[in-house]
Amino acid sequence: MIKKYYLLSPGPTPIPEEVLREAAKPIIHHRTPEFSRNFMDTVEGLKYVFQTEQDVYILASSGTGAMEAAVVNILSHGDRVLSINAGKFGARWSHICRAYGIHVKEILLRWGETCSKEKVKKELGTHPDVKAVLTTLSETSTGAVFDIEGFGEIVAKTDALLVVDGISGIGATPCPMDDWNVDVMISGSQKSFMTPPGLAYIAFSTKAWTMIQNSSLPKFYFDAVAAMKAMEKKTSPWTPATSLILQQRKALERIRKLTLEKLFEHHKILGDATRAGIQALGLELLAKPPGNILTAAKIPDGIDGVILIRLMHEKYRAYIAGAQAPHKGEFFRIAHLGYMGGFDIITALSAVEMTLSELGYDLEAGTSVSAAQNILKENWT
Amino acid sequence: MIKKYYLLSPGPTPIPEEVLREAAKPIIHHRTPEFSRNFMDTVEGLKYVFQTEQDVYILASSGTGAMEAAVVNILSHGDRVLSINAGKFGARWSHICRAYGIHVKEILLRWGETCSKEKVKKELGTHPDVKAVLTTLSETSTGAVFDIEGFGEIVAKTDALLVVDGISGIGATPCPMDDWNVDVMISGSQKSFMTPPGLAYIAFSTKAWTMIQNSSLPKFYFDAVAAMKAMEKKTSPWTPATSLILQQRKALERIRKLTLEKLFEHHKILGDATRAGIQALGLELLAKPPGNILTAAKIPDGIDGVILIRLMHEKYRAYIAGAQAPHKGEFFRIAHLGYMGGFDIITALSAVEMTLSELGYDLEAGTSVSAAQNILKENWT
C-alpha cells in the first residue's frame, strides 16, 4: 500500500492548501507599504482571535520565545511569581523565571489536573508580593484546560498580572483576553492558527504596560517597547519572517470567515467525538476536566505506550503524539485543534484501534469509530 | 505596462523557485526520524557554508536573535567587550551588550570605513580584560567588508573571543570560521542562504564553549547548552520552524552543488560590474574598501535620496535599499548577494539611471549598464 502520512499531533497541525501555497510566492521586501499592509492585516486578524483591543506583536520565534518575552518584559530582579504547574508547559514558566533569578512559588499539580480559582486566591492571599500569576490555557502535554476566566476574576482584584500561555488553546477554546482580564496573552502559529511553526504572538493589557515601564530584566530581541515603537510604523523592530506572516494572514482570512464562535463549537464536537471513542474502548481520559484542544488517554495495562506510538507512526503513518517526559509511555494524545475535520478524528481512533489490537489489547474493531460517528452525525450541520 | 516587481535589496533576497515550492509541501512533525534527517542535512550544509567542524545551531529568530544569543551565552555580568562600530549593525552589538550590563569599549568609525587589525591589537593591549571582540563580516548598512582573517590572528593570541556577525557576508565572501579563528559566527537565512527570513544560525569554537560553561548572563530561549543537548538528539530544544528549515535544506543543496569557491567568484564579478557601473555614472562609492555583498553609492548633490528610492520603487518597482538612519537619503545600496545573476545588476543600474535622469541628474542613458556589461561579458563563463 501507499503509505500516506496523516498528521494528527497537537502542533504542528495540518495547513490548509491555500495557506501552504502562500509561502511559494516570490518574496517581497519587509520595509515597503505592500508588506506593511499585509503585516497590519495579520495584526488585525490576531486581535480578532485574541479577542483584544490591544496590539498583538508578531515574533520570529517558537512559542517558548514568546513565554520568555512575557517574563523579561514585565518582571524585575527579585520579583516573586505564582506559577501553576500541571504539565510540561506549566513547568516551563517556572524554568524561564528561574533562569532570570525570579522567585517562583509553584502550585504543583499532577499531570492532567487543573487548578481551582480558590487555590489561586489562597496563594495570592498568603503571598501578597506576587507580581504575576503564570498559567496555561490548554496544557498541551495533558489536554487539560484551565479556568482562565476564574483566575482573571481573582487576579484583577490584585496588583499582580495574569499571564496566560495560550499557545495551543487560543482559537480552539474560548479565552477572550480583554473580557477575562488576561494581562499578557501569548500564542503560536503552528497550533490553531493553521500556519507552519516559526511565529509567536504576544499582547499586553494596559496594566501590563505599566509594569513593562518599570521592568529591570535585561532584554533586546524580545523587547516589548521596541515592538511597540515599530508597530507605530506598521512593522516589527527586526526583520520579520515575511513568508510565514503572509501564510498567517491567509489563514486568518479563513478563521475570520468561519468566525471564532463556529470554531469553538467545531472543536467541541471533535472533542466530544474523541472522548466518546476513547471511552467506548474502555480507556481512561487523563485530563479532569478534559479540554477540546486534544484528548489524552491512558495506555491500558500490559501495553507499551512508546511502542504503540512508534508502530502507529511507522506502520500506519498516523502521527499521534505520545506522552512527554517524565511520563513517556503512559498515555497518548489525539489532537483536535487547528485545521482538523471529523474524519481526522475517525482516522486517529481507527489507527489507535488497529494498533492496540495488534499489540494484543482485546477490542472489537470499530467500537471507538462508531461511538465517534454517532456524535459527529448528530452535529454534522 | 505591467509593473513587475524586482527585489534587489541586501536581504531579503530573491528565493530560487525550487526553494519557494518546498514551503508549499504539507507539514511533517518535527519529532520524527524524517524531520531529523532533514534537520541534520541542513546542519551539515550550514557547516559547509560556515567552513567549520563545529555544529551550527538553527534558531527560529531573525539575525538579531542570533546576535543576542552570542552575547548571552559567552559573557558574564561586569564583563568588558571591544565592539567595532562602523555602521548600523556594528552599533547593534554595542546596544545588545549594554542591554545586558556589559561594559562596551567601542572602536567608533565613520560609516563606510573598516578597521585595521593594528587598531584592534592596540585596543586589546590597552584593555587586556576584554572578553570578546564583536565585529561584522559585511556591514550591511554600508557594504564594507572587514578583515576577519587579520582580527583572528590578533584575537587568537589572547583570551578573548572573536565574535562575527556574518549575517549578510557568509556564503558570498570568504570567511572560513575555523581557519580564521572565529569563535562565534552567526548568520541568517534571508541573505546568501537563498531562503526566506525567519531562521538564524550560530556556531561556537572550542574556546567559546569554555566561556559558555562560565557565562552568568540569564538566558532560556537562546541557551546554547540546551541547543547542544538537543543536537545530540538530532533536533532543536524548542519547536523548529520546520517549513523554513526544509526550504533552507533545499537551498543548501544548490549552494553545495555550486560550491563556495564558485559563489565567491560569482559575487566578486557582480561586485566588480556594479562598481564599474556606479563609477561610470560619476558617483562615489561609500565603502573603503568596498565588499562584494552590496555596493553603496553616494547620492549626487542636488538629488533627494529618499525620493530617489521611493520613485524607483513606486514607478519602476525596483526595490533597491536606501541608507538607514542617521544617514537617510545620503546613499543607495545595490545588492549582489544571494540568488542574484548578472542581469539583476543590469536591472539595478538601469533603474538607477532612469530614476536619476528623471530627477534631473545629467547622464547619458546606458553609461553604467555598458560599463557593467563589459565586466560581465569578460567573465561570463
pLDDT at residue number A3: 85
The set of cell numbers assigned to B298 is 553616494
pLDDT band (50, 70, 90) for residue B2: confident
Tens-place pLDDT, residues B63-74: 999 999 999 999
Distance between CA B186 and CA B169 in Å, rounded? 10
Angle made by CA atoms A102, A104, A110, in degrees to the nearest 5: 150
Tens-place pLDDT, residues B33-89: 999 999 999 999 999 999 999 999 999 999 999 999 999 999 999 999 999 999 999
Phi-psi region of B317 (alpha: psi -120 to 50; beta: other; left: phi over 0): left
Residue of B nearest to A25 (CA): B20
Tens-place pLDDT, residues B247-280: 999 999 999 999 999 999 999 999 999 999 999 9
Contact A351, A368 (CB under 8 A): no
Question: Structure pTM?
Answer: 0.95
- Provide the 8-state DSSP code for B108: E
> CATH 3.40.640.10 residue ranges in chain A?
17-257
Cross-chain Cβ contact B5/A23 below 8 Å: no
% residues pLDDT > 90 (chain B)? 98
Q: Is the dihedral of CA A354, A88, A9, B59 positive or negative?
A: negative
Element (DSSP H or E) covering residue B19: helix B17-22
Taking every pair of Cα atoms in chain B, the longest distance, rounded to a whole number of angstroms, is 63
CATH topology of domain A17-257: Aspartate Aminotransferase; domain 2 (3.40.640)
Amino acid (1-letter code) at residue A379: N
| Best CATH choice for the domain A259-379 from the list 3.90.1150.10, 3.20.20.80, 1.10.3080.10, 3.40.50.10490 | 3.90.1150.10
Whether B381 has a pLDDT exceeding 90, the answer reads no
Residues near A239 by Cβ (< 8 Å), separated by ≥ 6?
A: A30, A60, B11, B12, B62, B63, B64, B188, B190, B197
pLDDT at residue number B3: 85
Share the mean pLDDT of chain A: 97
Cross-chain Cβ contact A9/B27 below 8 Å: no
Measured in whole angstroms, the distance separating CA A155 from the mean position of its chain's CA atoms is 22
Chain A closest-CA separation from residue B157 CA (Å):
31
pLDDT at residue number A110: 97
Residues near B15 by Cβ (< 8 Å), separated by ≥ 6?
A: A26, A27, B194, B195, B196, B247, B251, B339
Chain A closest-CA separation from residue B351 CA (Å):
17
Distance between CA A208 and CA A55 in Å, rounded? 13
Cross-chain Cβ contact A241/B21 below 8 Å: no
Measured CA distances, A251 to A19, A75, A192, A247 (Å): 6, 33, 10, 6
Q: What phi, psi does A195 have (nearest 5°)?
A: -135, 150
Residues near B292 by Cβ (< 8 Å), separated by ≥ 6?
A: B145, B172, B173, B264, B267, B268, B270, B271, B336, B337
The set of cell numbers assigned to A360 is 494484543
Q: Which of B161, B151, B148 is nearest to B206 (CA)?
A: B161
Distance between CA B24 and CA B8 in Å, rounded? 24
Q: Which of A78, A93, A143 is nearest to A114 (CA)?
A: A143
Distance between CA B82 and CA B63 in Å, rounded? 20
pLDDT at residue number A11: 87
Of B64, B240, B319, Cβ closest to residue A29: B319
- SS3 of B56, please? strand
Cross-chain Cβ contact A20/B15 below 8 Å: no
Distance between CA A82 and CA A67 in Å, rounded? 15
pLDDT band (50, 70, 90) for residue B181: very high
Cβ contacts (< 8 Å) between A240 and chain B: which residues?
62, 197
pLDDT at residue number A69: 98
Measured CA distances, B96 to A74, A219, B324 (Å): 19, 8, 19
Strand A331-335, strand A321-322: pairing: antiparallel
Q: Which residues of chain A have pLDDT under 70?
A: none
Cross-chain Cβ contact B32/A99 below 8 Å: no
- Provide the 8-state DSSP code for B26: P
Measured CA distances, A375 to A278, B71, B160 (Å): 13, 54, 66
> CATH 3.90.1150.10 residue ranges in chain B?
259-379
Of A371-375, B230-234, B288-292, the one with minimum mean pLDDT is: B288-292
Of A13, A14, A60, Cβ closest to residue B60: A60
Chain A closest-CA separation from residue B222 CA (Å):
8
Cross-chain Cβ contact B243/A219 below 8 Å: no
pLDDT at residue number A81: 98
Tens-place pLDDT, residues A258-290: 999 999 999 999 999 999 999 999 999 999 989
pLDDT at residue number A158: 98
Determine which of A243, A248, A310, A317 to mutate to test the interface with B (most B C-beta atoms within 10 Å): A243
Q: Which of B151, B4, B198, B218 is nearest to A218 (CA)?
A: B218
Contact B92, B268 (CB under 8 A): no
Whether B131 has a pLDDT exceeding 90, the answer reads yes
pLDDT band (50, 70, 90) for residue B11: confident
What's the mean pLDDT in B106-135? 97
Cross-chain Cβ contact A240/B68 below 8 Å: no
Distance between CA A233 and CA A248 in Å, rounded? 20
Whether B169 has a pLDDT exceeding 90, the answer reads yes
Distance between CA A213 and CA B187 in Å, rounded? 32
- SS3 of B52, please? coil
The set of cell numbers assigned to B40 is 541534520
pLDDT at residue number A260: 97
Cβ contacts (< 8 Å) between B188 and chain A: which residues?
239
What angle, 0 to 180 degrees and rounded to 10, lies between the N-to-C axes of helices A342-358 and A305-314?
Answer: 120
Distance between CA B333 and CA A114 in Å, rounded? 56
Cross-chain Cβ contact B15/A27 below 8 Å: yes
Measured in whole angstroms, the distance separating CA B102 from the mean position of its chain's CA atoms is 24
Contact A84, B244 (CB under 8 A): no
- SS3 of B238, please? coil
Element (DSSP H or E) covering residue B271: helix B260-280
Which residue is it, cell 554595542?
B94
